[in-house]
């Protein structure tokens, strides 16, 4: 596998797991940019605010779990993005991925899935055949997307939730941990429970 020089945008909790994946894959991570952190993380220097001139040929990953913040940071990042796919993740050769995506330990992406850009498929989440996942979505640990599910831009799919086949979760929606989605979820809706019900609408 080709290894790269990589910089990370973000130095918080999600950055830790992404950095772990990158180091496991043998990449050379040369900087973490996040004004909130200093010192180093797993031996990688935290360099404060983003510097677009720093190693301009390095690839970048926006390792921020919050979807709205990840989008805000991605749009001002000048470096070219790359995907991070932990070696224990299983990705069908018949799936397509944009860039800047993070597929973490034990996640599975099945045949004919289409992932946009800057999507997080977190630990052990499974995305079955023919799903479409738009940009800046976060699928939390252990969530199960059955076949032919679609998820709109910026939505958060909570840990251990299940979405039955063919359903759509709109843009910037939130599916609570453990929810079972059996109907389409509108844009900006927050749903919880089994069967999932709308508790409010929230624009981030």
Q: Catalytic amino acids?
A: 129
- Nearer to ligand ACO (CB atom), residue 106 or residue 178: 178
How far is C-alpha 102 from the chain's CA centre? 5
Least Å distance, CB 112 to ligand ACO, is: 26
Which among 29, 71, 34 has a CA at the least distance from the CA of 51? Answer: 34
Residues in the site for ligand ACO, rule: CB under 6 A? Answer: 122, 140-141, 158-159, 174, 176-178, 190, 192-193, 199
Give the alpha-carbon dihedral of 178, 184, 190, 195, to 10 degrees.
Answer: -40
Give the alpha-carbon dihedral of 33, 39, 41, 42, to 10 degrees.
Answer: 140
Rounded to whole angstroms, how far apart are CA atoms 53 and 76?
13
Q: How many residues can be counted in the chain?
A: 204
- Nearer to ligand ACO (CB atom), residue 56 or residue 193: 193
Rounded to whole angstroms, how far apart are CA atoms 178 and 199?
15
- Nearer to ligand ACO (CB atom), residue 68 or residue 192: 192
Least Å distance, CB 194 to ligand ACO, is: 8
Q: What is the largest CA-CA distance in the chain?
A: 50
Least Å distance, CB 174 to ligand ACO, is: 5
Least Å distance, CB 84 to ligand ACO, is: 15
- Nearer to ligand ACO (CB atom), residue 110 or residue 155: 155
Q: Which pair of structure tokens corresponds to residue 185?
A: 């979820």
């Amino acid at each position: 596998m080709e290894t790269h020089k990589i910089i990370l945008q973000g130095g918080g909790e999600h950055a830790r797991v992404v950095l772990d994946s990158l180091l496991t894959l043998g990449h050379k991570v040369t900087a973490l940019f996040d004004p909130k952190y200093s010192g180093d993380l797993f031996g990688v220097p935290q360099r404060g605010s983003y510097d677009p001139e720093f190693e301009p040929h390095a690839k970048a990953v926006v390792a921020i779990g919050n979807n709205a913040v990840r989008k805000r940071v991605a749009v001002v990042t000048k470096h070219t993005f790359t995907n991070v796919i932990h070696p224990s993740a299983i990705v069908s050769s018949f799936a397509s991925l944009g860039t800047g995506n993070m597929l973490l330990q034990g996640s599975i992406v099945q045949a004919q899935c289409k992932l946009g850009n800057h999507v997080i498929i977190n630990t052990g989440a499974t995305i079955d055949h023919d799903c479409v996942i738009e940009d800046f979505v976060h699928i939390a640990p252990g969530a199960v997307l059955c076949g032919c599910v679609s998820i709109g831009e910026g939505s958060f799919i909570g840990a251990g939730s299940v979405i039955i086949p063919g359903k759509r979760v709109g843009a910037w929606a939130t599916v609570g941990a453990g929810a079972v989605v059996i109907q389409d979820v509108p844009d900006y809706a927050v749903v919880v429970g089994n069967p999932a019900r709308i508790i409010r609408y929230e624009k981030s």
